[in-house]
A and B are shown apart, each in its own frame.
Chain A
Amino acid sequence: DIQMTQSPSTLSASVGDRVTITCRASQSINDWLAWYQQKPGKAPKLLISKASSLQRGVPSRFSGSGSGTEFTLTISSLQPDDFATYYCQQYKSHSVTFGQGTKVDLK
């Protein structure tokens, strides 16, 4: 299986901060990577697919970049609605795998 490692596991930030989450793959996945946001008690929400393609309706403060083995999710100016857990997902191999998650909480 392709292992996905996110860092940090927890990130404490304030409203207005620029936030960056990193996801590393154990082998190249080209750009077959998605980012999801999950709030407590809710299903995950797709933010970005194919490493950098923003889903319709997702605010433009979210952006994704990277290819190969290293990827980033950036929130340009953190808003109150953005406090949540974020997961990356690789879908290059038929054993799809997720990162362990990054919780963004209030500093």
Chain B
Amino acid sequence: EVQLVQSGAGVKKPGESLRIYCKASGYSFTSYWVAWVRQRPGKGLEWMGVVYPGDSDTRYSPSFQGQVTMSVDKSVKTVHLQWSSLKASDTAMYYCARVLTGTLDASDVWGQGTMVIVSS
């Protein structure tokens, strides 16, 4: 079964760092781009960018460039999303999702989401 399983919820203070993960199984991990999507409480979906596990290439949305870092650990078929200094406005659900083909396509498989809460 093709699956993306994400790390559990995290509660952090402003200024702290955080790394969440998305672990793939059931398909050729290095052949598909993986997207990250943010959803703030009660709001819509925002595309953050994509990472290619084959060579760790990344493409960020201008809105998220410099705010987060996407990375890959091929040895454990996992992609990561990282913040160096969290803000309260980073409070959201974060989804990873496999991109159908190439860098630009719909996403057919989604993780269950990781809730990140940033509060003092």
Contact = CB atoms under 8 A, between A and B. Distances in A.
Interface of A: 1, 32, 34, 36, 38, 43-46, 49-50, 55, 87, 89, 91-101
Interface of B: 35, 37, 44-47, 59, 61-62, 95, 97, 100, 103-108, 110-113
Contact of A46 (B37, B95, B103, B107): B107
B47 A98 contact: yes
A46 B45 contact: no
Contacts of A94: 59, 103-104
Given A46-B108, A49-B100, A91-B105, 18 more contacts: A34-B106, A43-B95, A44-B45, A44-B107, A49-B108, A55-B108, A87-B44, A87-B45, A91-B106, A93-B104, A95-B61, A95-B62, A96-B47, A96-B61, A98-B45, A98-B47, A99-B44, A100-B44
15 contacts: A1-B62, A32-B104, A43-B95, A43-B97, A43-B111, A43-B112, A44-B37, A44-B107, A91-B104, A91-B105, A92-B104, A95-B62, A96-B47, A101-B44, A101-B45
A44 to B, nearest CB: 6
A93 B106 CA distance: 12
Give the one of A32, A38, A55, A95 with max B CB within 10 A. Answer: A95
B106 A44 contact: no
Contacts of A46: 106-108
A44 B95 contact: yes
B52 to A, nearest CB: 13
Contacts of B44: 87, 98-101
Give the one of B45, B46, B112 with max A CB within 10 A. Answer: B45
Contacts of A44: 37, 45, 95, 97, 107, 110
A32 B95 CA distance: 21
Q: Which 4 A-B pairs have the closest CB atoms?
A: A34-B106, A43-B110, A49-B106, A96-B47
Nearest to B96: A43
B59 to A, nearest CB: 6
